[in-house]
Amino acid sequence: MKQITCIVAILLLSVCLIPGVFAQNLMSDEFHGTGQDLQSFWQVKDGDKSPWELQDGLLVAEAGFDQNLWGADTSTRFYQVTDQDQFDIETSMVVDYGDACTVAGIVVYSATTKDSQNRDGEWVTLKLWGRGAAQDNNAVLQYQRRENDAAPYVGVQPDYMPDQGVIPLELRIKRDGDEYESWFKPNAEGDWVSVSTVTNALEEPLEVGIYVGICEGESADGRMTVTFDYFREASSPATPVDPRDRLAVTWGELKGQ
């Protein structure tokens, strides 16, 4: 009897030690450390495609080419596994990009949920889409699921279109069951600006985190460096702000830089 009990205990312990088998509560991280010494609650997908490291309390990633989060997930993604029914998370990042199609943002990903085209894998993401010369070398904010940004998802946030270069930004997603609400802070300051509230039934466990990628083939001039300052539970209530009022001021500030 003791042998059986011992074997069962060992098996349970082994299963618990397998990453991603059992979900956890989301953990905040200020990215202290050096090199690739991330906290143990993080997992990294395709980390070899976008060189990254921790530097002085920042997670810095040099985005690789042919990486996107649209028709499929080919991005470099830093994520935690959770089955939390409710959470409110935010990240602060500085995107420095030029002469390419780029993506960087925050994502709630389900590997087992079927998307609108019956493919495995569905998500809710809030991202900065950097656009190349064909679209005037400027960036827009997008709130999407897989290859679908039909209303109330947002393809382009009104009045927010910073030029390529250095773009600071804060992003936030709140989950309450199947309901997701998002906000952002242009220029990484001021009040939270509302983006949209959507419904998406994502099966757990969920992979929640941040990601980067250059969504086109390699070119001589295409580049993107993304510096994440933190990933954490939202630090303050979201203040309702009319995007037209807030963005008019912020766009002026960005143009003046």
* Neighbour-count burial of 128, counting CB atoms closer than 10 A to its CB (0-12 exposed, 13-18 middle, 19+ buried): buried
The pLDDT of residue 4 is above 60: no
pLDDT band at 239 (very low <50, low <70, confident <90, very high): low
User: CA nearest 180: which of 158, 202, 204?
Assistant: 202
Is 138 inside a domain boundary? yes
Place of tokens 């011992």: 6
Is 23 inside a domain boundary? no
CATH number at residue 232: 2.60.120.200
56 torsion bin: left (phi>0), alpha (psi -120 to 50), beta (else): left
Q: Are 145 and 200 in contact (CB under 8 A)?
A: yes
Q: In terms of DSSP bridges, do strands 102-114 and 58-62 run parallel, antiparallel, or are they unpaired?
A: unpaired
The tokens for 240 are 């309702």
Is 68 inside a domain boundary? yes
Is 16 inside a domain boundary? no
pLDDT at 251: 28
Is 14 inside a domain boundary? no
Instruction: Give exposure, 91-118, as e/b (b: 16+ Cβ within 10 Å).
Output: bbbbbbbbbbbbbbbbbbbbeebebeee
Q: What are the beta bridge partners of residue 130?
A: 102, 139
**DSSP code, position 154:** B
Range of the domain at 242: 29-255
Q: Please tell me the total count of domains within the chain.
A: 1
User: CA nearest 208: which of 138, 130, 147, 123?
Assistant: 123
The tokens for 91 are 């990240």
Give the predicted TM-score (pTM) of the model: 0.86
Q: How many residues does the chain have?
A: 257
User: Which amino acid would we find at residue 254?
Assistant: L
Count other Cβ atoms within 10 Å, centred on residue 199: 10
Is 15 inside a domain boundary? no
pLDDT band at 20 (very low <50, low <70, confident <90, very high): very low
Is 6 inside a domain boundary? no
Of residues 189 and 248, which shows the higher confidence score?
189
The rounded distance, in Å, linking the Cα atoms of 187 and 247 is: 10
Place of tokens 């009319």: 242
Tens digit of pLDDT for each residue in 34-77? 999 999 999 999 999 999 999 999 999 999 999 999 999 999 99
Place of tokens 């959470």: 87
Q: Are 141 and 184 in contact (CB under 8 A)?
A: yes
Count other Cβ atoms within 10 Å, centred on residue 176: 12
Is 104 inside a domain boundary? yes
30 torsion bin: left (phi>0), alpha (psi -120 to 50), beta (else): alpha
Tens digit of pLDDT for each residue in 129-183? 999 999 999 999 999 999 999 999 999 999 999 999 999 999 999 999 999 999 9
